[in-house]
Amino acid sequence: MKKSGARILIYSHDTFGLGHLRRCRTIAHSLVENFSNLSVLIISGSPIIGSFDFRARVDFVRVPGVIKLRNGEYTSLNLHLDIEETLELRQSIIQHTADKFAPDLFLVDKEPLGLRGEVAPTLSLLRARGTRLVVGFRDILDAPEALAREWARKKAVPALDTLYDDIWVYGLPEIHAPLDGLGLASATHAKIRYTGYLCAPAPAEPAGMRRPAITHSPYLLVMTGGGGDGAGLIDWVLSAYELCMRESLPPPLPALLVLGPFMNGDAQEAFLRRADALETVEALRFESHIEQLERHATAFVTMGGYNTFCDILSHDKPALIVPRMTPRMEQAIRAEQAQELGLADLLYDPVETGAAARDPRDMLAALHRLAGRQPPSGQALPGLGEGRAQLAELAAPWIVPHGARRVSPRPGIATGRKYG
């Protein structure tokens, strides 16, 4: 049967959280906006992928979920199978999907060989067919020393050397060069393309969406992403508002807390009760249309994950970043760079650094400072938010010949270590 139109397959291991899923969804939506006659299929292990809306010509295949334990091992999320059986099942579904979908370009998110090497057979299959193989990385992966150790164990660098045609970095080298320090061969380094951040305007508000009452006047939006590691931030913010009530101090702007779907259920219940006791705080468990809450917010309070940082830039909002420090330094590095460039404020969590307990007065002062903070657009950094347009330019040579038709203008491309 003859294939109609161009096709892109995106793989994301998605063991936990929302970051990988949101990034892949953003990329898929951007590509179908830029090209007609293009279909994008996402392979994901996220247990909540079905909670999100997808544009026409974007769909997903869900593989069985896994979750990483505290000891670093993986286990099946829902099935009564051991991890090896689960991985064999995932690998089979991934390879069969790639075989039948027959993509013109295969984009792997973050893990060059996939979870525990599960995507390696698919890479070999598609490479033999002449499919363009691309691996995409967020702007920051981890501290260089930690990343080097991890990638040596996973044999990731040889995969970059021998399997992939291109390496896309969704950021700017002026902020961070995530693959520096890995000793890449010059030929591998030449594959790197910096796109800028994957920024996007909020889509139209869905018909019938009911926003919380607090969003109809100025408010702070406090977000934890998936929420699995966000309890500390929520507790600290709530303690600042509780201090104001207890000591009759001037409160900051009202706050809307979005706890995240992966936050512990007991912690969610406790936070909801605390928020109910405060006149100027409201809390939600989860919102799949969070872009609408971001659109109307005065400022953000976040942990500084990649997607939330893109949201700060997309909506041009003042922001306070309270980064997680473990198990990766990714958020802390991003927050430090953002503060240095004047894009956001940074507040370290003393519990994360092991220095002391969280003082609600420190959080209160930081929330008050947000009211007078300049948005990111006050800092000139060429190419900062052009990631979506740059991806269209990078993908075009490999999908236009197969039937995709371009519907957007052509920007320049960032290559190597300089943005141009």
Asked if 326 and 399 sit in the same domain, the reply is: no
Q: How far is the C-alpha of 28 from the C-alpha of 59, rounded, in Å?
A: 9
On whether both 239 and 354 belong to a single domain, the answer is yes
Query: Are both 370 and 228 inside the same structural domain?
Result: yes
Question: Is the same domain home to 356 and 234?
Answer: yes
The torsion of the CA quartet 232, 326, 344, 292, rounded to 10 degrees, works out to -60
Kindly state whether residue 395 falls inside one of the protein's structural domains: yes
218: preceding bond cis by omega (within 30 degrees): no
Q: How many domains does the chain have?
A: 2
The residues, ordered by sequence, that sit 6+ positions from 232 with a Cβ below 8 Å of its Cβ are: 349, 351, 352, 358
- Looking up residue 27, the CATH number of its domain turns out to be 3.40.50.2000
The pLDDT value recorded for residue 167 is 98
82 and 19 housed in the same domain: yes
DSSP 44-58: E--TTGGGS---TTE
Q: Are strands 255-258 and 281-284 parallel, antiparallel or unpaired?
A: parallel
Asked whether residue 61 is assigned to any structural domain, the reply reads: yes
What was the pLDDT predicted at 17? Answer: 62
369 and 392 in a single domain? The answer is: no
**In this predicted structure, what is the pLDDT of residue 49?**
84
| 363 and 397 assigned to the same domain | no
**Residue range of the domain that includes 277:** 213-378
Within this chain, do residues 164 and 243 fall inside the same structural domain, yes or no?
no
Q: Is residue 411 part of a domain?
A: no
Asked which of 360, 378, 396 is the last residue of a domain, the reply is: 378
Distance CA 362, CA 313 (A): 25
Tell me, what's the pLDDT at 65?
83
- Among 83, 77, 168, smallest CA distance to 393 is for 168
Residues 148 and 133 in one domain: yes
Q: What is the pLDDT of residue 419?
A: 27
Q: Which residues of 158-187 are buried (b: 16+ CB within 10 A; e: fewer)?
A: ebbeebbebbbbbbbbbbbbbbeebebeee
355 and 393 in a single domain? The answer is no
Degrees to nearest 5, angle at CA 101 with 288 and 67: 45
Complete DSSP assignment for 120-166: HHHHHHHHHHT-EEEEEEES--S-HHHHHHHHHHHTHHHHHHHT-SE
Q: Is residue 109 part of a domain?
A: yes
Tens digits of pLDDT across the chain (420 residues): 567 899 999 999 876 667 788 899 999 999 999 999 999 999 998 887 888 889 999 999 999 888 766 555 667 777 778 888 989 999 999 999 999 999 999 999 999 999 999 999 999 999 999 999 999 999 999 998 999 999 999 999 999 999 999 999 999 998 999 999 899 999 999 999 999 999 987 778 887 788 888 999 999 999 998 888 899 999 999 999 999 999 999 999 999 999 998 899 999 999 999 999 999 999 999 988 888 999 999 999 999 999 999 999 999 999 999 999 888 899 999 999 999 999 999 999 999 877 779 999 999 999 999 988 999 998 878 899 999 999 999 999 999 999 999 985 554 444 333 322
Instruction: Give the helix, strand, coil percentages of the chain, each rounded to 5.
Output: 40, 15, 45
Residue 378, Cβ neighbours under 10 Å: how many?
Answer: 11
Q: Is residue 124 part of a domain?
A: yes
> 9-40: string of b/e by CB count within 10 Å (b at 16+)?
bbbbbbbbbbbbbbbbbbbbbbbbbbbebbbb
pLDDT at 3: 76
* Maximum C-alpha span of the chain: 73
Q: Does residue 217 sit in the same domain as residue 366?
A: yes
Give the count of beta carbons closer than 10 Å to the beta carbon of residue 65. Answer: 20
Tokens of 348: 């370290």
In a domain, residue 206? The reply is no
pLDDT of residue 170: 97
In whole angstroms, what is the distance from residue 193 CA to residue 107 CA?
A: 14
* Order of all β-strands in the sheet with 345-346: 281-284, 255-258, 220-223, 299-302, 319-321, 345-346
Statement to judge: residues 191 and 320 lie in one domain:
no
Q: Residue 412: its pLDDT value, please?
A: 45
Q: What is the pLDDT of residue 152?
A: 94
Cα atoms in the 13 Å half-sphere on the side-chain side of 289? 15
In this prediction, residue 208 carries a pLDDT of 79
Q: How far apart are CA 362 and CA 380, in angstroms?
A: 30
With respect to residue 418, please indicate whether it lies within any of the assigned structural domains.
no
For residue 352, being part of any structural domain is answered with yes
